[in-house]
Structure formats: structure tokens, C-alpha cells
Structure 1
Amino acid sequence: MAARGQEWDAAEALLAEAIALDPIDPYALHDLAGLRIARGDAKGAAEAAEAAVARAPSLPPVLRRRAEVEMRRKDWTGARAWMERLIAADPAEPRWRYDLSSVLMQSGDLDGARAAVEEALSQDTLPALAD
């Protein structure tokens, strides 16, 4: 277990270095938020994700990461708000509606979850499976 902690620490140090070298790039902060989620550091993940959003307020991966932080916190209202912001920023991507449906199911809004899936299915451009 100690080895894993050292790996996390080394990864976080590398990300801190990347952020210092290019403080306006949101991707290192995005990755730092993901690392902190994996470590179970919800507060640190939220701080990194917020900093990424401040640098790129409409970048889909950044918005998705911010939603993920709220999902991990089980803040379904917050996660829903971030997912809706993500969908507004990237309305053509059906994956975001599938993700929103999961958030809505967790919050108990089964009708909303179903509507999100139906909308995603109407957008999904995957080819039909051959018989």
C-alpha cells in the first residue's frame, strides 16, 4: 500500500510541475482532479476541477470532470447542474445525456433519466447491428 501512495505522490508532483510550467493549460488540472478522485480526496479534486473550469469554462472534458467530482460526493443536484452545463457546451455528444441519465437515476428522477436516454438514443449515430 505504501508503494501505491508513493506512486500517487510522484504523479501529483509531476502534475504540479506541469501546472507550474503552463498555468493556463486546463488539462493538467483536469488530470490532477482525476488523480485526487482516485485517491479519495474529494476536496482536492473539487479545487483542481474548479481551477480547470476557470481556465476553460466550456471545454467538455473539464466540465465532465467537474460533474464527476459531484458524482463522487453523491451531490446529485450539483452533478446534474454540471452535466447540464456540459450538454449545453457540447449538445451533439450523446454520451453526456447517458451520463446525465445515470445522475438522474441516482437522484430518483426516473422519468428524467428515461427522457435523457431517449434523447441520447435519438442522437446516437452508431450503425445498426446486422442480423
Structure 2
Amino acid sequence: MTGGYPSAILAFEGATFRSFFCREEKGLKLRPTPVVYVVQENPRVDVVSAAQWGDLIPLANPYDQVHLNPGRIVSSFRRKLRNYNDSDWLLPLGDPAMIGIAFAVAADMNEGRVNLLKWDRLERHYYPVKISVRGGIEELTT
């Protein structure tokens, strides 16, 4: 137990992923830190710098393929993103179809709002992008 929350440690390409299981209290989703959901692991991509935005949790492994069993991928993403909220982030890495599924599920779980971490190749760091599919892209003040 960590701070009253059970935790599991997952190894991911040299980084440490900490998965906090959420508890719900009066409809509010409580979690000690934000989560960065990495859509699909890629052993050749170092995502450790995204950990400044929250605990890294992979949604799919590098060998998952949507065309073999799309229902399993959707159901897995729905389970893993069931507590997605405004403090969490999606890191769109991997198969574009999986990125689309993750975005749709996250938007469904959070009233149409999704936070993305966009990689800038020139600056070599992540930029936050907040999107509301029911409104538009919100301006960030940071």
C-alpha cells in the first residue's frame, strides 16, 4: 500500500511504471497523482521524459494488433481508461488505429475532454494539448 492506495510496479523499457488503482467516493475519482497513458509500448522509443506529467501506464504492448481482435483492444482500453479524468494524459504512441481507439474511449470516459502530450522533434520535449470534442482546443496558459 502506498498512501492508502494499493500499487503495482511494471517495468517498461528501463522506466518504472506505477499503476495506482483508483477508488471512487461519491462519484469522484481519487488518485494520488496524474497518469500518462502510453497508447502502445515501443521498445525503440524512450518515453521517460513524459513521466514529469504523471505515472506512465501502457495501454497495449508492442505486439498487439487491432485487426486480429478489435473487440479485445476496445474492451481492454475501456477497462484501463475507466478512471480517466482531467488530470490524466494520453501519449499517442504506436498504431494509429489504437491511438484513435484510445482517444475515443478517453473522450467517452471524460465527457468529451482529452489531454494529449505531443512530442516536438525539434525542441525534443512534450507539449500539453487539451482537447474537447464537444467544444474545441483550449488555450493553455503555461
- TM-score when normalising by structure 2: 0.30
Larger-Rg structure? 1
Q: How high is the TM-score relative to the length of structure 1?
A: 0.31
Higher strand share: 2
Q: Return the structure number with greater helix share.
A: 1
Which has the bigger relative contact order, CA under 8 A and spacing at least 6? 2
